[in-house]
Amino acid sequence: MSILKVRNVFQGRILRVNVETVRLPNGHVSDLEIIHHPGGAAVVAIDAARRVCLLRQYRHAVAGWVWELPAGKLEPQEPAQTTARRELIEEAGQSAHSWRSLGTYVSSPGVFTEIVHLYLAQELDSVKMALEEGELLEVHWIDFQDACARAEEGEINDGKTVVGLLRARRALSSAPVAGDPDRSAPDVPMGSA
């Protein structure tokens, strides 16, 4: 695919929206509305009792409350695991000593450039939360298998959360994780992101 022309129609604090004229691999020329996003990271944090941290967060875009993993957007030049560690502290009041990549997730590839990096975090310690002003959420610790069942049944319907939970279940069963860039790698040490 080649980009022939780009027209910026909106530049916000986080998002940039372009109309991009592209030549597709089959030769067809098309105008695509593309939303550029810096990407994000989400954390499947599991405690010693095999409970997972889920946030019940108010989301105006869907006019209600959504079950989600602790997550946030990448800052410029920030490694994804650094984002994951920061968000786990800010939103859940937890730090972790054991980290494992669960690969990436693309949220809506037809229009959105966002890539979400997923992590499994274990060996947790409580720390002080630091919510941002605009965040409205409740922290819940739910039995991990119950959370996975809720994801499979559709009660949990946030994409990154469903994918993160199911990949974590597979990782915890010692099976290779689809989408993991290095399936044979051990846990990622705390300071190596």
Residue in 78, 133, 135, 152 annotated catalytic: 133
For the question of residue 133 being annotated catalytic, the response is yes
What are the φ and ψ backbone dihedral angles of 131, each rounded to 5 degrees?
A: -65, 145
Q: What is the DSSP string of the chain?
A: -EEEEEEEEEE-SS-EEEEEEEE-TTS-EEEEEEEE---EEEEEEB-TTSEEEEEEEEEGGGTEEEEE-SEEEPPTT--HHHHHHHHIIIIISEEEEEEEEEEEEES-TTTB--EEEEEEEEEEEE------TT--EEEEEEEHHHHHHHHHHTSS--HHHHHHHHHHHHHHTTPPPTT-S-TT--PEETT--
Write out the catalytic residue numbers.
Answer: 133
